[in-house]
Amino acid sequence: MGAVCNLAVLIVSSGGRRTLHTTPTTGGKRVQNRILKFLIVPVLAVGVIYPGVPDAAHAESSATALVQTYLANGRIGEADEQLLAMTAATTGNADAQLGLGLVRSARAFEKLSQALYRVGFASKAEGYQSLFGLRAPIPFNPNPQPVTYDEFRAMLETFIADLESADRALQAVGEKPTKLSVDLSVARFDWNGDGRLGPEDHFGMAISDIDDNGHAKPFVVGFDTADAKWLRGYCNLLMAVTKAWLSHDFSETWDYSFRLLFPRAVSTMAAAEGGDNQDTTMFGVEKQQADDLADLVTLLHTIRWPVQDKALWGEVRDHVKAVIALNRETWALIGKETDDDHEWLPGPRQKSGVLPSFNVTEERVQAWLGMLSRSEAVLDGKLLIPHWRFAKGIDAAKLFDEPKPFDLILWVTGPAALPYLSDGPVMNGDEWNQLLAIFEGNFAAYAFYFN
């Protein structure tokens, strides 16, 4: 579990240039998340294949004409069906295959958001916004449904299946030339599954610059073959994170503390508790606040999850290795590009990147590729992970081959690392400092961007 890190990066541009906002603009149902929104940004290509952008040759393609109506109106499922029929009718239709992969990626997030909304995920964050600056990761549901441990696991399994479906569609693109011009400013998603799309569902408003009349300015991106590889990398990264969780048994944590995340979680603690949430406790705070604090402490204490599916845990490593391989293929394709058209991920010679706050230089690309090689060596156990307490390093290969229960506290303090300590070369701080210098201290943001 410790081998997989969550990425959380805020991408901000300067000097009046484009900004990817992580706060809502209007409406109670606006996407207002620090978690799910970070995950959806990498697949914003799904917003709409827009007919009125430059590059008319691609904008007027049959794939573009087909999906524009469905996606602009948030009818992603219907777009999937039509694009699938198009790929079946015309062998090697790379535009349709790329569009299908983009749509399925978006649909995976929309379905996950709808499922989490039904059960009120993280709705308690609403009550702590002023204190901690927290925002609910999905729209607030005032009347959530009960949810069991097995039902929550089923949500994550569905998310994996949807990502696998998107990955297969994107894989069919291969290295065939393709280009879809996308205006992300018109993207709409039915985040809560109520079947109604209003201004509050206009996700494009949250990621685009706004003009003087309060309208989203066009945010045009030319997605191509390299971006299909890039998005496959993100699909595999998210599958790795989700499978890492599902491969472990976290039922004890659920039973004792998950009401902190799901207000109607079916659990032993929920059945046993009682009393008025407005009563003042012996700690001088309302019972609801005391309960939430106790649940947070309990959650951290019970993260001692045994591996219940070793095969699934092994797939985590496979997915991470796939991310590395796909990233190399992405940069190889970018290096061969001769156009310069609203690039999502530009090469060093391309100047039309849609996120101009990121300066993609040859030095940074080579440093990133070097980091990928070191990461691969870590997964293979050829390069060891340092721990603050030990001179020896941690063999990540043994983490997958000989898994033991993941105990968060014991990993921090050291005892959980003991079975995995080995002799050999250990990653050192000098390499990290050099990487930070090349990326001017902004490595995390570039890592999120590059994947």
Contacts of 51 (CB under 8 A, 6+ apart): 59, 60, 64, 65, 68
- Phi, psi dihedrals of residue 190, rounded to the nearest 5°: -90, 80
**Does one domain contain both 173 and 237?**
yes
Q: Which residue has the higher pLDDT, 90 or 427?
A: 427
Q: What is the pLDDT of residue 185?
A: 84
Kindly give, in sequence order, each residue whose CB lies less than 8 Å from that of residue 130, ignoring residues fewer than 6 positions away.
Answer: none
Are 257 and 75 spatial neighbours (Cβ–Cβ below 8 Å)?
A: no
Model pLDDT, residue 141:
87
Task: For residues 102 and 163, state if they share a domain.
Answer: yes
Q: Which segments within 197-277 are labelled E, that is strand? A: 220-224
Gap between the Cα atoms of 147 and 123, Å rounded: 14
- pLDDT over 60 at 418, yes or no: yes
Residue 246 in any domain: the answer is: yes
Say if residues 232 and 326 touch (Cβ distance below 8 Å). yes
Is the pLDDT at 15 greater than 70? The verdict is no
Higher-pLDDT residue of 248, 24:
248
Give percent above pLDDT 90 in the chain.
57
Q: Is 161 domain-assigned? A: yes
Higher pLDDT, 50 or 206: 206
The stretch 369-392 carries a mean pLDDT of: 97
DSSP calls for 364-388: HHHHHHHHHHHHHHHHTTSSBBP-T
State the helix-helix crossing angle for 94-118 and 149-171, rounded to 10 degrees: 170
Same domain flag for 298 and 174: no
Closest C-alpha to 36, from 22, 52, 56: 22
The DSSP bridge partners found for residue 409 are none
DSSP string for residues in 164-213: HHHHHHHHTTTT---EEEEEGGG----TT--S---GGG-THHHHS-B-TT
What whole-number distance in Å separates Cα of residue 58 and Cα of residue 224?
11
Whether residue 129 is contained in a domain is answered as: yes
Domain assignment present for 8:
no
Nearest to 23 by CA among 182, 192, 205, 214: 205
Confidence bin at 47 (pLDDT 50/70/90): very low
Q: Is a pLDDT exceeding 70 seen at residue 207? A: yes
Using alpha carbons only, what angle is made at residue 94 by residues 90 and 98, rounded to the nearest 5 degrees?
Answer: 120
- Confidence at residue 13, expressed as pLDDT on a 0 to 100 scale: 32
**Per-residue pLDDT tens over the stretch 339-378:** 999 999 999 999 999 999 999 999 999 999 999 999 999 9
- All residues at 6 or more sequence positions from 338 whose CB lies less than 8 Å from its CB, including other chains: none
Q: Are residues 124 and 176 in the same domain?
A: yes
Supply the range of the domain harboring residue 287. 251-302
Helix (H, G, I), strand (E, B) or coil at 318: helix
Do 233 and 268 reside in the same domain of the chain?
no
205 and 274 inside one domain: no
397 part of a folded domain = no
Q: Tens of pLDDT along 278-303?
A: 666 666 677 778 888 899 999 999 99
Q: What's the confidence (pLDDT) of residue 128?
A: 55
- How many domains are there within the chain? 2
Residue with tokens 């890492």: 244
Q: Are 139 and 30 in contact (CB under 8 A)?
A: yes
The pair of three-digit structure tokens given for residue 325, joined into one six-digit string: 């391989």
Let me know whether 344 and 296 are in one domain.
Answer: no
In one-letter notation, the amino acid at residue 341 is: D
Banded model confidence at residue 91, pLDDT cuts 50, 70, 90: confident
**Would you tell me how many other CB atoms lie within 10 Å of the CB of residue 261?**
21
According to the model, what pLDDT value does residue 58 have?
38
Residue pair 88/118 in contact (Cβ under 8 Å)? The answer is: no
Mean pLDDT over 83-109 rounds to 90
- Taking phi first (over 0 means left), then psi (-120 to 50 degrees means alpha), and beta for anything else, what does residue 394 get? beta
pLDDT of 276: 59
Is there a single domain that holds both residue 205 and residue 235?
A: yes
Q: In the Cβ-directed half-sphere of 105, how many Cα atoms lie within 13 Å?
A: 33
Residue 164 and residue 33 in one domain: yes
Predicted local distance difference test score (pLDDT) of residue 388: 96
Query: pLDDT, tens digit, for every residue of 214-247?
Result: 988 988 888 999 999 999 999 999 999 999 999 9
Whether the pLDDT of residue 46 is over 70: the answer is no
Verify that 157 and 282 share a domain, yes or no.
no
Query: What does the pLDDT read at residue 283?
Result: 64
328 within some domain: yes
For the ranges 37-41, 134-138, 174-178, 208-212, the lowest mean pLDDT is seen at 37-41
In-domain check, residue 420: no
Whether residue 199 is found in the same domain as residue 269: no
pLDDT of residue 74: 76
Looking at the DSSP bridge assignments, the partners of residue 248 are 307
Judge whether 276 and 288 are in contact, CB under 8 Å.
no
Q: Which tokens sit at 296?
A: 């947070």
Mean of pLDDT values over 301-314: 98
Residues 51 and 122 grouped into a single domain: yes
What pLDDT, on a 0 to 100 scale, did the predictor assign at position 69? 67
Q: Answer yes or no: is 411 within a domain.
A: no
Q: How far apart are CA 133 and CA 126, in angstroms?
A: 9
Tell me which of 20 and 279 has the higher pLDDT: 279
